[in-house]
Amino acid sequence: MIESTHLRSWRDTETRRAIESFVESVATGPDAVPAAERVAVFDNDGTLWSEKPMITQLHYVVQQWRAAAEDDPSLAERQPYLAAVSGDLGWLGAAIDKHYGGDDGDLTVILDALVGLTGGMSVEEYAQSVQAFYASAQHPTLKRPYADVVYRPMVELIRYLEHYGFTCYIVSGGERDFMRPMTEANYGIPPERVIGSAYGLTYDEDAAEVRYAASLTFFDDGAQKPIRIWSRIGRRPLFAAGNSNGDMEMMDFARRGPRAGLALLIHHDDDAARGDTPYDSGAEKALGAASERGYTVVSVRDDWASVFPDVAPPDAT
């Protein structure tokens, strides 16, 4: 059995042993999978960092919507600008939960307002705006920088997989270019290995710049995730980690390949004392199907000795 020195924030539980056993089976011995085929994919929000009370990108766009409503007060009379002006984070979070429950009515309202923010902006201008947000923004309830609400055990897991020859990708419903400015610093994953939802793009020949169109090319969630994985990577992953109903297709894609992969489902079942909000909303279907579909459920409460990077695991020196 491979003995990990990487998974220090993981307790010695059945879940950790399942991860170690799987990695050993694909990385060592005569039946090892070639390193080029060792592909791991991770959802971002709720899998690699906190997503409550709302996903990080919504925090960014709420600031943009609030500014737009200040310029045009009539916007504040309708959603999602009303939520931004009033600070009603509950409406925004509920819209995401309704999406995972199969109701995209409010999500459509959000997406329609979202694409208008970047229309005509160059990709460099948007990247600078996002970088400025990450440099100053704090998690709305934990009151700490977003870099400090990354899940320490999951970053350790990425390093562990890389140590045994895996190439790790982010595959998220979050917008691709919003994630890229922070993924290398937070997870060690470079921008070319970030797959996510994408705004439309156009090329300005006079300025020699790539600019955003006021449209969404695709929303990378549910069945779109395996499609985007294949179109971007050209390989079926052996390992997938997610936390919601929208990750099930990606986890099935890894789990049910020619060689059975490992699918991790993060269950936010802690008591909030360590800072992670407990919730099942948006994950009810995945949790209910976990046994039947062969998902390995990760209990934040039972499997993680520590949650965030500023709190070392009990045995750290």
C-alpha span between 43 and 158 (Å, rounded): 12
pTM, two decimals, is 0.92
Does a structural domain hold residue 8?
Answer: no
CATH assignment at residue 46: 3.40.50.1000
92: confidence class by pLDDT, cuts 50, 70, 90: confident
What percentage of residues in the chain have a pLDDT greater than 70?
97
For 182-197, how does the pLDDT look when each residue is reduced to its tens digit (9 = 90+)? 999 999 999 999 999 9
Of 91, 112, 136, the domain-final residue: 136
pLDDT at 177 over 60: yes
Contacts 24+ apart (CB under 8 A), 271-279: 271/301, 274/306, 274/307, 274/308, 274/311, 275/50, 275/142, 275/149, 275/307, 275/308, 276/50, 276/300, 276/307, 277/50, 277/52, 277/53, 277/141, 279/52
Cα dist from 165 to 34, 39, 52, 72, whole Å: 9, 9, 32, 53
pLDDT at 315 over 70: no
221: confidence class by pLDDT, cuts 50, 70, 90: very high
Same domain (yes/no): 117, 148: no
Same domain (yes/no): 172, 38: yes
- Rounded to the nearest integer, the mean pLDDT of the chain is 93
Of 115, 136, 157, the domain-final residue: 136
**Predicted pLDDT of residue 3:** 61
C-alpha span between 247 and 228 (Å, rounded): 13
**Predicted pLDDT of residue 120:** 93
pLDDT at 5 over 60: yes
CA-derived radius of gyration, the chain? 20
Same domain (yes/no): 188, 249: yes
Q: Give the residue-averaged pLDDT of 217-246.
A: 97
Closest Cα to residue 198, out of 297, 307, 57, 301?
57
pLDDT at 242 over 90: yes
pLDDT at 198 over 60: yes
Q: Which residues contact 193 (CB under 8 A, 6 or more apart)?
A: 167, 168, 169, 170, 183
Same domain (yes/no): 175, 278: yes
Of 113, 136, 159, the domain-final residue: 136
pLDDT at 314 over 90: no
Dihedral angle sign, alpha carbons of residues 218, 224, 225, 231: negative
For 37-80, how does the pLDDT look when each residue is reduced to its tens digit (9 = 90+)? 999 999 999 999 999 988 899 889 889 899 988 999 998 889 98
Q: Give the residue-averaged pLDDT of 288-300.
A: 98
Closest Cα to residue 173, out of 273, 84, 282?
282
Same domain (yes/no): 19, 164: yes
Q: 174: alpha, beta or left, given left = phi > 0 and alpha = psi -120 to 50?
A: beta
User: Using the 8-state DSSP alphabet, how is residue 178 labeled?
Assistant: H
Cross-strand bridge partners of residue 241 = 42, 264
Domain count for the chain, please give it: 2
Q: Give the residue-averaged pLDDT of 225-249.
A: 98
Does a structural domain hold residue 69?
Answer: yes
Give the domain range for residue 129.
56-136
